[in-house]
Structure 1
Amino acid sequence: MIRIRLDELTLGRVRIAISPLWEAYSSLALTLRYRSEIPYPYTKWAATVLPRVPPALYKELAGTVRAQWKKPTASPLTPIPTSPSPAIEDELKALLAVGQDRFAHLMSEYWATAVAPYWPDMRNVLEEEILVRGRALVTGGSDLLLQNLGGRIRWENPELSVPHQTDLDWPLADSRLIIVAVLFARGNTRIFSTLHDTAAFSYQAQGAAVLGGPPRDTGAPHDHVRPRDRLTALLGRGRTAVLRSLLSPTTTTGVANSLGLAPSTVSQHLAALNSAGLVRRHRVGSRVLYELDEFGVVLLSELGD
C-alpha cells in the first residue's frame, strides 16, 4: 500500500492523463502476473496478440519488468506523462532521454504487436474517461475526483491510500500529482512513478471491455449485417447493433447518435440487454453510462465475428 499525503497546494494541482506507454507496460505486467489464466476482459486480447509477440522479445521484457517490481517505483521504465494525452513516440523518446535505450527499443516492438492494433478504440474509451473525470474535477474539485477513483483506492483528506505491491509513505508538499487512467490495470495500481516534485500512479479506467473484441473495422457501416451473422439471428438487427456499439462506456444518446436510431428505441434495446445480463449501467455524476458485462463480451466473442 502506498500512502500519499497531499498538502493543500498539491491537492489543487491534481491532474489526470492517459499514457500509451503505461498501457503497454501494464498489459505486459498483467500477462506476467496471470500467465496462462488471463482474466476477463483481457482473455481474447491475450489469445490474439501473445502468440504474435516474438518469444525472445517477451522474455527480455519480462526480465526487465520483473526486476523493476522489486523497487519502490517504476520511474525509469514509465516516465510521467508530460501532457494529458502523449503520443507513444514522445514517450519512447522520454525513455531514450533517461538512458533506457534498450527498453525503448523492446517496448516499441511490443507496442506495435500487442497494443497498437487496439489503440484507436482504447484511446476513444480513455478520452471519454478523461472527460468524465475532468468534469468531476471541475465541478467538485480534487476531493470529488479522488473519492471516486474506484477499486481499493481510498481518500481521506489529506491521505490517499493506493494499493501497490510495495509499502510506502510518500508525502507531497507544494508538488503535483498525476493520475493516469489505464485499461490494463485490472483493478490494481500497477505503476507508481516519481520525478522531482511530481508523483504519478495508475488506476483502473472504465471501459476495459473494449479489449474483449477485435480491433475495430472502421470501414464497415454500423448497420451492416455480416454473412452468416449468428448474433443478429439470435438478438435481431437493432439489439445486435446496440450491443456491438458498447465496446466502450456510452450513454443512450451516444449510442443513438452513432447508430442513427431514435433514443427511445435505443433505450428499449438497452433495457432488454441489461435485463438479460449482457450490459451493465453505472452512473458518473449526472450521466448514466452503459457498457458490456462479462456475458456480453463472451457473446460477442463467440458469435459476433
Structure 2
Amino acid sequence: MIEIPLRRSGYGTVRLAESRLWETYGSIGLLSTGRGLAPWPYARWDRAARRSLTRADVTVPGWLVHLHRARGGVLPSFLLVVPCPTRGDLAADLAALAAVPAARVREELEQWFPQGIPAEVRPLYADPRTRLAELCDVLPRYRRAALAPYEASLRVATEEDILLRARILATRGPERLLGSLRGLRLSRHGDVLRLHGAGTPGRTAVADVSRLVLVPLVFGAGAPYAATGPDGTTAVAYRAEGAAALLGEARPSGKRDTGGEPGPGDRLEILLGRSRAGVVRGLVAPTTTSDLAAALGLAPSTVSEHLAALVAAGVVRRRREGVRVLYELDGPGVALLRHMDDRRRVNAPDT
C-alpha cells in the first residue's frame, strides 16, 4: 500500500502516460500466473503468445516469473522505471533498468522475502547487474514474439483510454478521475490517500508527491504496479478500458486484409464477410475510423464504407467527442457478437 499526503501537496500534478515496459511486464505476469488458463478476453492472446514464444525460443527468466507469482502480480519497484509522459520509449526505460544499483536490488528483495531469498530468486540476488542485463536483452525479443502482432490494437486501446481519463480529469477533477480507475483500490483517511495493493509489501509513505503519473495497461488485470522516482514522481498502473481489442485476429505489421474468403466455421465472417466481420470485432471498444483501419490493416475508405452500412443497420453507433468521431457497437451489435462469435461476455454498451 502506498500513502500519499494530500494536505502538503494535493495530488501534485496528475499526468497520464503509457509505458511499454510496464505493459510488457503485465503480459508476462498474465502468462506467469494464468498458466494456460487466462481469463476473458486474454485467452486467445495467451494461446498465440505461448506458441510464438516457443517458436522464437524466448524464455522469460525464472526469477521474474517467481516474483510475479509471489505477491499476486506486484513487482518490486526497482524493476518499474517511472514512465515519462513525454517518452514512451522502451529502449530508454531498459537503459534505466540496467543502471539500477545492485545494492538497491538486494535491499528490496530482502524486504520482499524477510524469511530468506527463495531459490528461484537467488540468481538475481547474487548478481543483480548480470541478471538485469540479461532481462534487458530478453524483453525486446519477448515483445516482438508476444506483443508485436497486437501492437496496433494495444496502441489504440491505450490512447483511447488516456483521452477518456483526460476528459474526466479536465471536467470532474482528480478525485473523480482516481475513482474511475479499474484495478486500483483507493481509500481516503483524512488528508492521506491510500493506494491499496500497490507498491512494496507493507505500507509505504511518500513524503512529497511532485507528480502523480497514471499508467493505463491493457494487461493491467492483476498488475498493481507502483513506483516512486527520486524527484517525488509516483507512478501507479491501472487497467485500461478496451482490453477486448485483443479478441481480434493478429496480423503482421503492414499486412492488409483483402476481405478474402471467410474462415472455416467462422459464422460471423460467413454472415458479414471477412473484412466487415473484422470491423465489428474491432468495435468492442470505441475507436475512430483511422485507428480501426490501422488496427485491421484496411484502407480507411473501406472501413468508412463498412461503418456506414453497420450504422444504418443499427449494429454500430457513432458519437462525437470534441473534434473526433467515435464508433462503437450498439446493443444489436453486442448481441451479434455474443451469438455469432461465441463471445458471450462482450459487455453491453454504456448509455
Contact preservation (8 Å) 1:3, 1:168: yes
What is the CA deviation profile of residues 13-62 of structure 1, one whole-angstrom value per residue up to 9, with x for unaligned ones? 12111111111111111111111212111111111121332598525x23
- The answer on 1:160 being equivalent to 2:194 is yes
Corresponding residue for 1:95?
97
- The answer on 1:170 being equivalent to 2:205 is yes
The 5 A counterparts of 1:1-305 are 1-7=1-7, 9-54=9-54, 57-59=58-60, 61-67=61-67, 74-98=76-100, 99=129, 100-156=132-188, 158-164=192-198, 166-186=201-221, 188-196=222-230, 197-216=232-251, 219-220=255-256, 224-229=258-263, 230=266, 231-235=268-272, 240=277, 242-246=279-283, 248-250=285-287, 258-260=303-305, 261-262=307-308, 264-265=311-312, 267-269=314-316, 270-276=330-336, 278=338, 294-295=343-344
Length-normalised TM-score, structure 1: 0.76
- CA RMSD of the aligned region, Å? 3.6
Closer, same or farther: CA 176–275 of 1 in aligned 2, 3 Å: same
Query: Runs of 5+ in structure 1 lacking a partner?
Result: 280-291, 298-305
- In structure 2, C-alpha distance between the alignment counterparts of 1:237 and 1:68, rounded to whole Å: 38
SS at match of 1:32: helix
- In structure 1, C-alpha distance between the alignment counterparts of 2:32 and 2:315, rounded to whole Å: 42
Contact preservation (8 Å) 1:241, 1:259: no
SS at match of 2:235: strand
Letter in 1 for 2:35: R
SS at match of 1:53: helix
- In structure 2, C-alpha distance between the alignment counterparts of 1:237 and 1:47, rounded to whole Å: 22
What is the CA deviation profile of residues 189-228 of structure 1, one whole-angstrom value per residue up to 9, with x for unaligned ones? 432222221221211001111222332465436xx53213
Closer, same or farther: CA 36–68 of 1 in aligned 2, 3 Å: closer
Could you tell me how far 1:266 is from its partner in structure 2? 6.1
Could you tell me how far 1:88 is from its partner in structure 2? 1.8
Could you tell me how far 1:120 is from its partner in structure 2? 2.2
Identity of aligned residues (%): 29
- In structure 1, C-alpha distance between the alignment counterparts of 2:273 and 2:137, rounded to whole Å: 47
- In structure 2, C-alpha distance between the alignment counterparts of 1:75 and 1:58, rounded to whole Å: 22
Closer, same or farther: CA 69–225 of 1 in aligned 2, 3 Å: closer
What is the CA deviation profile of residues 100-123 of structure 1, one whole-angstrom value per residue up to 9, with x for unaligned ones? 322211212211211222222201
Letter in 1 for 2:14: V
- In structure 1, C-alpha distance between the alignment counterparts of 2:182 and 2:238, rounded to whole Å: 8
Could you tell me how far 1:243 is from its partner in structure 2? 1.2
SS at match of 2:138: helix
SS at match of 2:260: coil
- In structure 2, C-alpha distance between the alignment counterparts of 1:220 and 1:16, rounded to whole Å: 32
SS at match of 1:39: coil
Could you tell me how far 1:93 is from its partner in structure 2? 2.0
Which range moved further: 12-21 or 80-89? Answer: 80-89
Letter in 1 for 2:90: I
- The structure showing larger relative contact order (alpha-carbon pairs under 8 Å, at least 6 residues apart) is 1
Could you tell me how far 1:233 is from its partner in structure 2? 2.5
Which range moved further: 156-165 or 174-183? Answer: 156-165
Letter in 1 for 2:133: D
SS at match of 1:185: coil
Could you tell me how far 1:4 is from its partner in structure 2? 4.0
SS at match of 2:77: coil
